[in-house]
Amino acid sequence: MEAFLKGSTASSQTKKASAPLASTSKKDNKDVQQSPKHIPWVEKYRPRTVEDVAHQDEVVAVLRKILTGSDLPNLLFYGPPGTGKTSTILAAARSLFGHDLYRSRVLELNASDERGINVIREKVKSFAQFTASNTRPDGKPCPPYKIVILDEADSMTSAAQAALRRTMEKETKTTRFCLICNYVSRIIEPITSRCAKFRFKPLAETVMSERLKHICKEEKVQIVESALETLMHVSDGDMRRAVMYLQSASRLCGQDEPVTENIIMDITGVMPDEMLDLVLKTCHSDSYEKLDLVVKQIIREGYAASQVLSQLHDRVVNMEDITDRQKSAICEKMGEVDKCLTDGADEYLQMIALFSVIMQQLCHGE
Amino acid sequence: MFPAHKLPTRVKTEAQRRKLKSALNSELWSEKYQPKNKEELAVHKKKAEEILIWLKNNITNVAKHSAPILLLTGPSGIGIPYAFYKDQSSLHEILRKYHFCGRCPLVFVLSDTSSSGSSILRLFPKHIMEELKIETISMNPVAPTMMVKVLNRIISQEAKMGSSSVPSAQVVESIAMSSGGDVRAAVNALQFACRCDTADLSKIKSLQKALKKEPSGSKKRLKYGGLSQRDSESNEQSGQTVIIGAKDTTCFLFHALGKIFYFKRADPHDAANHPSLPAHIKQHERDPLMLIPEEVVEKTQVSGDYFNTFLHQNYLEFLSTVEDVERFLEYLSDADTLSSQYTTRGDLLDYSVSVATRGFIHSDSACCHHGDSRKGYGWRPLHKSQWFSVQKQSDLSRSTAVTLFQGYHWDPEILLTELVPFIGLINPTLHDPGILISMWMRSGLERLDEKEILEGEEECSEVRVPDIEQKNEANTASALSTDTEADSGDTLPGSQTKHKCCAR
Amino acid sequence: MCVLRELYGAGVEKLRIEHNSFTTPSNKKLEIVTISSNYHIEVNPSDVGIHDRVVVQEMIKNVAQVNQLDTSSQKDFKVVVLTEVDRLSRDAQHALRRTMEKYMATCRLILVCNSTSKVIPAIRSRCLGIRVAAPSQEEIAQILHNVCKKEGLNLPSELAKRIAEKSQGNLRRAILMCEACRVQQYPFSADQQVSDPDWELFLRETATMIVQEQSPRRLLEVRGRLYELLTHCIPPDVVMRGLLQELLSNCDGVLKPEVVQSAAHFEHRLQCGQKAIYHLEAFVARFMAIYKRFLEEGIADLF
């Protein structure tokens, strides 16, 4: 107990226990088993080398050249999440500097670190101050610069970005910057013009399935082919999400049972088709009370409104028995609902509003 | 003690006490013409009498250990040294000492401008007032007729010396009115007006024109500009007198509200190019307004948001149909959304109030055109906005509830919408006065006044997962008690606070 | 809790309440109440409003830096339970996203939220999503039976079914309702009244008032009642939803789509804006206008 108290006061946090701590003895919990170290698969199967990076051919080609000795420009990686942006630059840096030099040569800053203007200036400055030699301790040659990785650069304020712009110019001799973001439009123009831009594409299904199969083999997970397809469909080109889902699914099933489509559906929160059918059927019924019940059911089942929205959208666009005009009316409402949901509006109200528009269009439109 | 204040309105009291020498060599008229006797005072006679009586009483019979203290309050001017704002307790200390051993009466002169109204309460809290038996006499602003008298006296005296040009009666009047009851400001303005070159006087001439428009002329009992609601022309004129350099008459919030609520429309034929709308939106056509809502709001010097809450509190009295109400609320809803985004708040706040006020005016379908009379809208009392008190109350109940149920994993929403109401149903009789420490929820129409007190500290540290069923058996960490005495007649605070439109 | 118990054994139930204070970059002091054991810490960061980012980061950092005492017998990570993640600001969610990965070795997060709609995709892709569906009515009825059995009560299945129906999949509510019934009347009878929380009754009355008369004066009365609800901490979105339900059950089917649309519209405004009362009132006024027009047209059709 004492030891714990010391431990907590030793941390920078100012903790005030409002009540005296109850005496606890945990020695009696010996039944707790020693478990093997669990590394999330996302970390475990992160690409280690540039060559491992899947699907991003352009970037890989450029980086390969750099690895063989040519100069590195400032980089700007952008693209949807889970396409390997961070992995790529980490792998590249690792192979450039080797394990020993990595710590002294690479500075990683991300949104969770303080990234005000001052931090950008001071931290980057002090990091870039010392010129790097062009040999490794083990004698192998290595490039004479350091790398600053700014992850999630799109969440930096534009003032901080402006400060960065000057720093980038000043430190060109010793430092290269690599900015990583989801939306290139949120990076100010002067910075994008100073960087070599690379767009990371969402992973193609073939590439993903190959990779996922590889992981399955390594982890001895059995997976049904249709489940794999669903997995790829729901993860939408996001490798990290796919791996995460796969791990969850395999945990759920245990070692011996194969991962099935339903399990994937369940953990990803995707609404099953029957539910969607029910929604549309109810919309056809022109009964407001039924609609109300359906919405309540959806919420009770715990499906997210945004998920419902995107699935419903796919359905509505492909529906054949309604006119384009009706479709556009529905889609317009969908856009509005999406915006409202993003703003934090109530799910029940938004869903019922959307469904009532659909009902209106299906039963009374045209 | 405290520096003597050169306020003409108040100097009299000090003059009586100290026989102040008037600073005759001063350039400023406001100092030159400080009142030297009771007759020259611009203060209302009764007030002056009141002060006089107080002084006489207290000078003649000063009881030992209780030196009398008088607090004089009134608008405008600078009060007490600001040092005391920071250290109020030392002021109170000094006061107590003085009260104990002082011989002569002490008079404080304090100004209470609309914004610093609370400072009096801060400097002289109630307990001090009672402890030291401090008396207060509040001064009203000087009436315009009195003001004109004072100004004319000065002019005649100046004319005797033959120093400067004599301004016309209208100018004097307008100065008196724009001063807002502040004699010092009026005298300063007068001096300025008399010293002006002819070029500057042209400004005043334009003013005179504006004045001539007023049909009532000088015969009518004068009012200060910006204070009248029914007389829109005098409003207009008040806007112009400001130019003269006199005091900027800041509108009080309720005056501004009145102006919005009792808006008037001008004759469209007077405005040269008032556009006409095409037929399909003809129902939205309105005659030009006779006021600019943005200016009215600006004069109140409150934030647009705050203004909107007052608009919202009172608008229902002024719209007659549900359709109008609906339209206005849509605008108000827009206005609120406009100003809420943190990043753009600064820029959009002004627009927000603009949307709300203009939204109100446009929504009122009873007054679309010039001369539309809005019958039945006689004088209505305006109310203070309830929103803030409601919010405060709700924050209070929320935090009390959260502290009472601290050991559990409920989030406040569930706690208050589900748990608390049901506990009210479950435990209507469980009542243990022994541990009844404080009541935490006012009861209105709902029976929501439960309380829960955690029994002793040692249990706090070991709160178990709440088990509602066990709770009833009273063997858990908590003991419930319910206060069933509902004071159901209790209405929301603030609703009864009435504020008159016409402060003066 | 059950998960944690599995992980760490009974020690996790030795809880304590702590007041932690943090300092924001703008030097504002924040206080937040956490519930923790030696193995985990539970916190609702949305309690501190816009400063939630600081809390999330500091909290996780602190927890992660304090190593587990006795690594031989325990799991080598601590657990941070964040409740109401869907109420976190965007800023905080972004901050969370990287912090999660950084301290993966020493601490794991359990995020609790009502819906994933408001959780940014970046976090969703880093988490194992477990959808916890509400229990079905049969399940609720079954649980009620179990509870009553333990309490030595006899619960008629008819009543259990009705309570389950009324609770709308909310087990907590169901148990509370059941207890309220017991206080009202015991032994239970199959047809006894299942009472709603009083604010719902209050809301129902308010809705009736709106349907009865549509005038500015009535709106003023309604406003008073809305204020009353808000002072009792009923969240405005709950009020809006409840009001919609009650109004819909009182009005003609033709009007329903329009009413629903306007409810959704003003509820969205309410979330964006600051003064909830404007939007609630606007909704009521809109309903009044719609309803009045409907009535007037109905009368016109008669002649």
Please provide the DSSP assignment of B215-250 as one string.
TTTTTSPP--TT--SS-HHHHHHHHHHGGGTS---P
B387:C277 CB<8 A? yes
Closest by CA to A344, choosing from B498, B81, C268, B89, is: C268
Residue environment code for B260-279, b if the CB has 16+ CB neighbours within 10 A, otherwise e: bbbbbbbeeeeeeeeeeeee
Nearest to C67 by CA among C58, C77, C80, C57: C77
Chains touching chain A through at least 3 C-beta pairs below 8 angstroms are B, C
Using H for helix, E for strand and C for coil, what is the string for B359-414?
HHHHHCCCCCCCCCCCCCCCCCCEECCCHHHHHHHHHHHHHHHHHHCCCCCCCHHH
Among candidate residues C125, C145, C169, the one where a domain is terminated = C125
A111 touches chain B (CB under 8 A): no
Cβ atoms within 10 Å of A36's Cβ, excluding its own: 6
Which chain B residues have a beta carbon less than 8 Å from that of C34? none
HSE of A17, CA atoms in CB hemisphere, 13 A: 19
**Assigned CATH for A205-268:** 1.10.8.60
Per the CB < 8 Å rule, is C11 touching A26? yes
Number of domains into which chain C is organized = 3
Task: Choose among A18, A21, A267: nearest Cβ to C19.
Answer: A18
Residue C24: the pLDDT is 54
**Across B209-213, B288-292, B393-397, C240-244, which has the greatest mean pLDDT?**
C240-244
- Averaged pLDDT for residues A113-133: 69
Does residue C193 form part of some domain?
A: no
Residues of C within 8 A of A304 (CB-CB) are 115-117
CA distances to B149, C27, C68, C69, C75 from C72, rounded to whole Å, are 96, 40, 10, 9, 8
Whether C92 and C158 share a structural domain: no
The whole-number pLDDT of residue B221 equals: 40
Output the 3-class SS for B76-91.
CCCCCCCHHHHCHHHH
ipTM computed for the complex: 0.75
Helix axis angle for B322-340 and C276-302, nearest 10°, is: 150
| Tokens of residue C191, six digits | 């047809």
Q: What is the pLDDT of residues B78-99, one digit of tens each?
A: 333 444 444 555 666 666 666 6
Which is nearest to A346 in space by CA: C123, B46, C235, B116? C235
Beta bridge partners of A14: C21
Handedness of CA B26, B27, B30, B35 (dihedral sign): positive
> In this structure, are residues B105 and B70 in contact, taking their beta carbons and an 8 Å threshold?
yes
Whether the CA torsion B280, B283, B287, B289 is positive or negative: it is: negative
Could you give the C-alpha distances from B186 to B27, B152, B154, in angstroms and in order? 16, 11, 11
Task: Round to the nearest angstrom and report the end-to-end CA distance of chain A.
Answer: 74
Q: How confident is the model at residue C125 (pLDDT cuts 50, 70, 90)?
A: low
Cβ <8 Å between B460 and A19: yes
Pairing type for strands B382-383 and A106-109 reads unpaired
Distance of alpha carbon B416 from alpha carbon A254, whole angstroms: 41
Q: Which of A300-304, C105-109, C249-253, C258-262 has the highest mean pLDDT?
A: C258-262
Against chain B, the chains showing at least 3 CB pairs within 8 Å are A, C
C50 touches A: beta carbon within 8 Å: no
C-beta contacts of A139-144 below 8 A and 24+ residues apart: A140/A98, A141/A69, A142/A96, A142/A97, A142/A98, A142/A101, A143/A66, A143/A71, A143/A72, A143/A96, A144/A174
Highest mean pLDDT among A207-211, A268-272, B124-128, C225-229: C225-229
Query: Do residues C26 and C120 share a domain?
Result: yes
H or E element that contains B50: helix B45-60
Contact C168 A241 (CB under 8 A): no
Domain shared by C77 and C118, yes or no: yes
Window 86-145 of C, Cβ < 8 Å to B: none
A318 close contact with B: CB closer than 8 A: no
- Cross-chain residue pair A7–C66, CB shorter than 8 Å: yes
Q: Are residues C265 and C203 in the same domain?
A: yes
Q: Are residues C149 and C240 in the same domain?
A: no
Q: What percent of chain B has pLDDT over 90?
A: 0
Confidence of residue B1 (pLDDT cuts 50, 70, 90): very low
Chain C residues close to A14, C-beta within 8 Å: 20-21
pLDDT digits 0-9 by tens, B256-298: 888 888 887 777 776 666 677 777 777 777 777 778 888 888 7
User: For tokens 């002793």, what's the residue?
Assistant: B456
Coil, strand or helix at C163 = helix
Q: How many CB atoms lie within 10 A of CB B28?
A: 13
In a domain, C114, yes or no: yes
Segment B346-366 shows an average pLDDT of 83
| Residues C77, C152 share a domain | no
One-letter-per-residue 3-state SS of chain A: CHHHHHHHHHCCCEEEECCCCCCCCCCCCCCCCCCCCCCCHHHHCCCCCHHHCCCCHHHHHHHHHHHCCCCCCCEEEECCCCCCHHHHHHHHHHHHHHHHHHHHHEEEECCCCCCCHHHHHHHHHHHHCCCCCCECCCCCECCCCEEEEECCHHHCCHHHHHHHHHHHHHCCCCEEEEEEECCHHHCCHHHHCCCEEEECCCCCHHHHHHHHHHHHHHHCCCECHHHHHHHHHHHCCCHHHHHHHHHHHHHHHCCCCCECHHHHHHHHCCCCHHHHHHHHHHHHHCCHHHHHHHHHHHHHHCCCHHHHHHHHHHHHHHCCCCCHHHHHHHHHHHHHHHHHHHCCCCHHHHHHHHHHHHHHHHHHCC
Instruction: For chain C, give the percent of residues with pLDDT over 90.
Output: 6
**Are residues C88 and C1 located together in one domain of the fold?**
yes
3-state secondary structure of C18: strand
**Between B345-363 and B322-340, two packed helices, what is the crossing angle to 10 degrees?**
170
Say yes or no: C141 and C115 in one domain. no
- Does any domain span residue C273? yes
CB contact, 8 Å: C150 with chain B?
Answer: yes
**A245-249, B67-71, B272-276, B398-402 — which one is most confidently predicted on average?**
A245-249
pLDDT recorded at residue B24: 39
Residues of chain B found within 8 Å of residue C233, distances taken between Cβ atoms: 394, 397-398, 401, 412, 416-417
Pairing of strands A175-181, A106-109: unpaired
Is the dihedral angle over the CA atoms A43, A49, A51, A55 positive or is it negative? Answer: positive
Nearest to A346 among C9, C168, C237 (CB): C237
User: What confidence score (pLDDT) does residue A332 get?
Assistant: 92
Residue B433 has pLDDT above 70, yes or no: no
Confirm or reject contact between B457 and chain A (CB < 8 A).
Answer: yes
- For residue B460, the chain A residues in CB contact (below 8 A) are 18-19
Residues within 8 A of B (CB atoms), A 174-233 only: none
Q: C225 lies in a domain?
A: yes
Global pTM reads 0.63
CB contact under 8 A, C17 and B398: no
Average pLDDT of chain B is 60
pLDDT at residue B227 in the model:
37
Nearest-angstrom CA–CA distance, A50 and A93: 9
Cβ neighbours of C48 in B, within 8 Å: none
Domain ranges of chain A: 41-199, 205-268, 273-364
Q: Which of C9, C76, C98 sits opposite A151 (nearest CB)?
A: C98
B111-115, B215-219, B228-232: range with highest mean pLDDT = B111-115
Measured between CA atoms, the residue of chain C closest to residue A116 is C25
C19 with C107, same domain: the answer is yes
Check whether the bond before C187 is cis (ω within 30° of 0): yes
Q: What is the pLDDT at residue B315?
A: 84
Q: How much is the pLDDT for A334?
A: 92
pLDDT of residue C283: 92
Residue C262 counted as domain residue: yes
pLDDT tens figures, A314-354: 888 888 888 888 889 899 999 999 888 877 788 888 989 99
Q: Reduced to 3 DSSP states, what percent helix, strand and coil does chain B have, rounded to the nearest 5?
A: 50, 5, 45
Asked if CATH classification 3.40.50.300 holds for the domain at A41-199, the reply, yes or no, is yes
**What are the chain A neighbours of B340 within 8 Å (beta carbons)?**
none
* From B163-167, B439-443, C63-67, C208-212, the region with the lowest mean pLDDT: B439-443
The parent domain of residue C242 ranges over 198-301
pLDDT tier, B442 (very low <50, low <70, confident <90, very high otherwise):
very low
Q: Which tokens belong to B193?
A: 């007006």
User: For residues B455 and B407, is the Cβ–Cβ distance under 8 A?
Assistant: no
User: A18 at the B interface (CB within 8 A)?
Assistant: yes
First to last CA, chain B: 34
The pLDDT score that the predictor gives to residue A331 is: 92
Q: Are C112 and C81 contacting, i.e. CB atoms less than 8 angstroms apart?
A: yes
The single-letter DSSP state of residue C40 is E
What is the arithmetic mean of pLDDT over C261-266? 91
Select A273-364's CATH number: 1.20.272.10, 1.10.240.10, 3.40.50.150, 3.30.420.40: 1.20.272.10
Average pLDDT of the segment spanning B369-398: 73
Among B329, B297, B316, B301, CA closest to B382: B316
Whether A22 and chain B come into contact, CB under 8 Å, resolves to yes
| Residue A7, pLDDT score | 36
Name B169's Cβ contacts closer than 8 Å, sequence gap at least 6. B218
